[in-house]
Amino acid sequence: MSEERLIIKGGNPLKGEVSIGGAKNSVLKLMAAAILAKGKTIIHNVPNLTDVEIMLSVIESLGTKITHDKTTKTVTIDATDITDVTAKYELVSKMRASFIILGALVSRCKEAKVALPGGCAIGERRVDFHIKGLEALGTKIKIENGYVSAHAARLKGADVYLDIPSVGATENLMLASVLAEGSTRIQNAAQEPEIVDLANFLNTMGADIQGAGTSEIIINGVKQNQLHPIEYTTIPDRIEAGTYMTAVVATKGKAIIKDIHPAHLTFFNDKLLKMGAHIKLIEPTAIEVSCRGRLNSINFVTQPYPGFPTDLQSMAMVLLTTADGVGIITESLYENRFMQVPDLRRMGAEIHQERNHAIIKGVKKLTGASLKASDLRAGAALAVAGLMADGTSTIDDIYHIDRGYENFEEKIRALGGKIEREKVIDNVKGLYNESHI
């Protein structure tokens, strides 16, 4: 068995330009939505990620025909025929987002059997909101042997109130409602840009969805023959953009972040500005980020969009580790989202954790250490910490990072960062380098 690790030599300011790819959290849902229309749907700006490969495998296992051109970042999904309604555990367990196939299958085929999901171990992410909503539309659901089995003789529009603005539940209900009879109203809906992207995709396909991006979404059901295959381009990944912005600020660099929607990062940008970073809009889809001196500490609470994104909490924590003063982070969404804390302490950070609060007292500097990625965003945050630290850091279990970042080390190197990927053979020091510091 072979594994890979990142070797990072810190202390080099990141400078230059970096382009942001398609949004992982959007494209996975667009690919699931593609099965609603018979024929070939083409999706552009698809990032080359392991999560994308997993979702394509899930969709292909249903009987669709898949073409994935990694050079042009284009995926073609021919959903003329769905021959199987079972999304198997072997695939769904690898990635929680694949559970979204439940709503799409119920909508298209009126039945589905989907394994309960896996994904990053960042805390409890229940599916009861999904199930209650689908039941309100007329779906009969049983959970047995690790699978959710759903059957619907007919789907009928309903009013559904979500106890929390769950992104996954909102998406599953949108997909299930597209072909339901009558109108469905989702109240307390998630408002993320990825929700808007899914609604735009479905509307382009022939659906009738209003209010996406607000707390109330109305889906007026259409007939199957009113849906048609389309060609569509995924929005940019706001979390990837925030990660590179953080890396530039952390290393006291100056760089242009291209191919983004700046409005999707308003709250995060505001916090960076309050810490002392400089952000300048230079084009409608590009910003210049820089930082000269020591940052100031801030307090913030993670919240559903448009609040501070939980996916960027670990990045902000890295900045606070060397900021002036004491900062407090309150994680309101996931109970295990501070998994980067023990490794940051190994690098010299002073962090005190009390349940969902992290109190960070800024130190003068971090130092390199041997680290391990516990999940996708924590792994990326540790890489940023390695870039700003004195000395060399190693990060193991980087398959987590590959789930959500395309060409991560190549983009960092293009900005002047010293980072390489090494293959570890049988967990012993028989290493060969794929690139050089």
pLDDT digits (tens, 9 = 90+) for 266-324: 999 999 999 999 999 999 999 999 999 999 999 999 999 999 999 999 999 999 999 99
Residue by residue, pLDDT tens for the chain (437 residues) are 358 999 999 999 999 999 999 999 999 999 999 999 999 999 999 999 999 999 999 999 999 999 999 999 999 999 999 999 999 988 888 887 888 999 999 999 999 999 887 543 433 446 888 899 999 999 999 988 889 999 999 999 999 999 999 999 999 999 999 999 999 999 999 999 999 999 999 999 999 999 999 999 999 999 999 999 999 999 999 999 999 999 999 999 999 999 999 999 999 999 999 999 999 999 999 999 999 999 999 999 999 999 999 999 999 999 999 999 999 999 998 767 899 999 999 999 999 999 899 999 999 999 999 999 999 999 999 999 999 999 999 999 999 999 999 999 999 999 999 999 999 875 444 444 444 44
What residues are annotated to the active site?
120
Same domain, 227 and 253: no
User: Residue 125: what pLDDT?
Assistant: 44
Same domain, 12 and 117: no
Same domain, 220 and 319: no
User: Residue 231: what pLDDT?
Assistant: 98
For residues 383, 329, 324, 269, the Cα torsion angle rounded to the nearest 10 degrees is 70
Answer with the one of 233, 259, 278 that is the final residue of a domain: 233
Same domain, 222 and 335: no
Same domain, 211 and 63: yes
Same domain, 156 and 255: no
Same domain, 260 and 199: no
User: Residue 424: what pLDDT?
Assistant: 86
CA-based radius of gyration for the chain: 22
User: Residue 426: what pLDDT?
Assistant: 59
Same domain, 312 and 419: yes
- Which residue segment(s) compose the domain that 77 sits in? 24-233
Same domain, 225 and 297: no
Sign of the CA dihedral with 356 first, then 361, 362, and 366 last:
negative
Answer with the one of 189, 213, 233 that is the final residue of a domain: 233
Question: What secondary structure, in 3-state letters, does the chain show?
Answer: CEEEEEEEECCCCCEEEEECCECHHHHHHHHHHHHHCCCEEEEECCCCCHHHHHHHHHHHCCCCEEEEECCCCEEEEECCCCCCCEECHHHHCCCHHHHHHHHHHHHHHCEEEEECCCCCCCCCCCCHHHHHHHHHCCCEEEEECCEEEEECCCCECCEEECCCCCHHHHHHHHHHHCCCECEEEEECCCCCHHHHHHHHHHHHHCCEEECECECEEEEECCCHHHCCCCEEECCECHHHHHHHHHHHHHCCCEEEEECCCHHHHHHHHHHHHHHCCEEEEEECCEEEEECCCCCECCCEEECCCCCECHHHHHHHHHHHCCCECEEEEECCCCCCCCCCHHHHHHCCCEEEEECCEEEEECCCCCECCEEECCCHHHHHHHHHHHHHCECEEEEECCHHHHCCCCCHHHHHHHCCCEEEEEEEECCCCCEEECCCC
User: Residue 357: what pLDDT?
Assistant: 96
Work out how many domains the chain is built from and give that number. Answer: 2
Structure tokens of 169? Answer: 């539940």
User: Residue 129: what pLDDT?
Assistant: 85
Structure tokens of 352? Answer: 């005190």
User: Residue 337: what pLDDT?
Assistant: 80
pLDDT in tens, 115-145: 887 543 433 446 888 899 999 999 999 988 8
User: Residue 126: what pLDDT?
Assistant: 65
User: Residue 2: what pLDDT?
Assistant: 54
Same domain, 141 and 213: yes
Answer with the one of 233, 264, 285 that is the final residue of a domain: 233
Same domain, 292 and 157: no
Domain harbouring 37, CATH code: 3.65.10.10
Same domain, 15 and 113: no
